[in-house]
Amino acid sequence: MSKEIMSQAGQRTDAMLKRNGLSITDSRKKILQLFLEQTGALAHGDIERKAAEKFDRVTVYRTLQTFVDKGIIHTIPTADNSIRYALCKDECSEGHHHDHHVHFVCTTCHITYCLDDVVTPELKLPKGYTPDHIEVVAEGTCKNCK
């Protein structure tokens, strides 16, 4: 690929990919770049749309899966059955995500935010239930839409 175009932006994506032992390819760089430029989370469909019909749908599926496996992005389940993906703020180790922050879905603009500073609260569960991970998703109106 053209080396000039990706000059600056490429630095960061390359480093992230390399750090995770992934080979540096066009599609991975571009998809990762989308996440870096993005405020909120991205759904599969958003990526296909934003990428301006650049690469195959299958590549997007595989790339997202790879990123999740490596702990570069994490998934955010929402009620409308459309999984969103967002960058993990701190690097997550492979196969082990530990972003214990809260997610916020704006019902007006439909942006999904990672509220990195809001830590998931402690929960008192009934005897016998041992949680490994707690997911909190708040739904409402974001600061730009109120």
- The residues binding its own copies (CB under 8 A) are 75, 77-79, 81, 83, 102, 104, 107, 113, 115, 117-118, 121-144, 146
From the list its own copies, DNA, none, pick the one residue 51 interacts with, judged by a Cβ distance below 5 to 8 Å according to partner type: none
Residue 130 touches which member of DNA, its own copies, none, C-beta under 5-8 Å by kind: its own copies
Tokens of 60: 């997007």
Nearer to its own copies, 30 or 101 (CB): 101
Cα 132 from Cα 5, distance rounded (Å): 43
Binding-site partner at residue 57 among DNA, its own copies, none, CB < 5 to 8 Å by type: DNA
- By beta-carbon proximity to its own copies, the closer residue of 56 and 139 is 139
Q: Point out which residues bind DNA (CB under 7 A).
A: 1, 18, 22-28, 44-45, 55-59, 61-63, 65-66, 81, 83
Whole-angstrom distance, CA of residue 103 vs CA of residue 89: 13
CA distances (Å), origin 63, targets 18, 43, 55, 73? 15, 13, 11, 11
Least separation in angstroms between residue 41's CB and DNA is 15
Minimal CA–CA distance to 139: which of 117, 111, 97? 111
Q: Which of 115, 71, 64 is nearest to 95 (CA)?
A: 71
